[in-house]
Amino acid sequence: MPYFQAPNGLIHFLSDLDIANGFSLLLPVGSSLINDEQAQKIASRLQPAEHAPAVVSPVQAFIALDENGHLSKLMDYLNAPTTSHLIRAVVTGATEWRRDSLMLMSVAIALGFTVDQVDDLFVRASKIAL
């Protein structure tokens, strides 16, 4: 999967279809193509705390985001024309959210979340009984 790193350090993902449709023009100016290993290295800096659960359901995560007032921020990001179709599919269609998912971490970074905030989201989401 093509990964791009913007000058501010954010990682962006585009599917081959996104690139074929010209969405790479919407990447921040100065973004550069990076390989899987480089993307994993960047993501490894965002490892979860030991107390954070590894997996929650998307519904639990959406409820936790809504309780903290961040759900609308996520939805705005997902509905932005610059957001990859693949990212939308993963966030809205996944059967589980994994704390170590590089795609979900890129979304968290794009939303301005710190590692501690992501851990807190997973902890709060895991406590929501459905």
> How far is residue 46's CA from residue 43's CA, in Å, rounded to a whole number?
5
Residue that is written with structure tokens 């903290």 in the block: 68
pLDDT at 52: 80
Taking all residues of the chain, what is their mean pLDDT, rounded to a whole number? Answer: 85
- What is the DSSP annotation of 72-109? HHHHHHHHSTTS-HHHHHHHHH-S-EETT-HHHHHHHH
User: In which element (H, E) is residue 44 found?
Assistant: helix 36-44
pLDDT at 71: 96
pLDDT at 47: 58
If phi > 0 it is left, if psi is from -120 to 50 it is alpha, else beta; for residue 49 that is beta
> How far is residue 13's CA from residue 1's CA, in Å, rounded to a whole number?
7
pLDDT digits (tens, 9 = 90+) for 12-32: 777 777 778 777 777 778 888
